[in-house]
Amino acid sequence: MRRLRPAHLLRTVDLAGTALFALQGGLTAAAAGLDVFGVLVIAFVTAVGGGIIRDLLLGDTPPAVFCDLAYPITAFAGGAVVVLLYTTVRDVPRDVLIPLDAAALALFAVVGAAKAIDHRMSPLLAALLGTVSGVGGGVIRDVLLGGVPLVLRSDVYAVAALAGAGVTAVGLRYGAPRVLVLALGAVVTVVLRLVAVWQGWNLPRVAG
């Protein structure tokens, strides 16, 4: 796996995103009535599922999450926090969770797109792969919990990831400075997502 530069900063932020996705996945699983083990499993797959799909599709195996112990440990730690402090975590207000989640989504989307460009994919496919990195964990979570993935039903979420990943992919493909492009892509995703939530934007249904 090629490291993005500045690698240490990105890895720290990446782990923060992993922790947050693990918290969310664990909360969803606990609310669905799963036991301790089920909560840990769902927290884990929510946090690392997107990256695993990304690396499988890139042929970059074993996936990064299986090569750096910090990722699974962080993912399980997020699940363990839910198990140990459920009533506290449950009460974290939505106004705190949503921006944090948007940040995690943005980070996974731009890192995924950058990794695809590093593997010489075209910008369109890199943008798709970045989106899959961002939303894949949540899709696996929802399928395992027996429902239609939220991302297919809810307000502008994957579209925000796609926009940020697209900006990143196009920028890197045409040689713009890496740090700048990644930051810009992340900002696009976060802003689009937060404005969508704030304004109650939803895409129209196709069938009336």
Q: Which residues bind a copy of itself (CB under 8 A)?
A: 26, 29-39, 41-42, 52, 56-59, 61-63, 66, 69, 72-73, 82-83, 86, 90, 119, 121-122, 124-125, 128-129, 139, 143-149, 152-153, 158-159, 202-207
Nearest Cα to Cα of residue 38 among 70, 90, 82: 82
Q: Which is nearer to a copy of itself, 34 or 183 (CB)?
A: 34
Q: Which is nearer to a copy of itself, 85 or 179 (CB)?
A: 85
Q: Shortest distance, CB of residue 8 to a copy of itself, whole angstroms?
A: 21
Cα 188 to its chain centre, rounded Å, is 15
Residue 68 three-state SS: coil
How far, in Å, are 3, 4, 12, 15 from residue 8 at the CA level?
9, 9, 6, 11
Q: Which is nearer to a copy of itself, 77 or 183 (CB)?
A: 77
Cβ neighbours of 164 (radius 10 Å)? 33
Q: Which is nearer to a copy of itself, 128 or 181 (CB)?
A: 128
Residue 202 three-state SS: coil
Q: Shortest distance, CB of residue 172 to a copy of itself, whole angstroms?
A: 17
Q: Shortest distance, CB of residue 4 to a copy of itself, whole angstroms?
A: 19
Q: Shortest distance, CB of residue 14 to a copy of itself, whole angstroms?
A: 18
Q: Which is nearer to a copy of itself, 83 or 183 (CB)?
A: 83
Q: Shortest distance, CB of residue 70 to a copy of itself, whole angstroms?
A: 11
- Yes or no: say if 105 and 193 are a contact pair by the CB < 8 Å rule: yes
Cα 80 to its chain centre, rounded Å, is 19
Q: Which is nearer to a copy of itself, 31 or 179 (CB)?
A: 31
Half-sphere exposure of 170 (CA within 13 A, CB side): 8
Q: Shortest distance, CB of residue 95 to a copy of itself, whole angstroms?
A: 22
Question: Two tokens at 55?
Answer: 């690396």
* Through-space distance between the first and last CA atoms of the chain, rounded to whole angstroms: 46
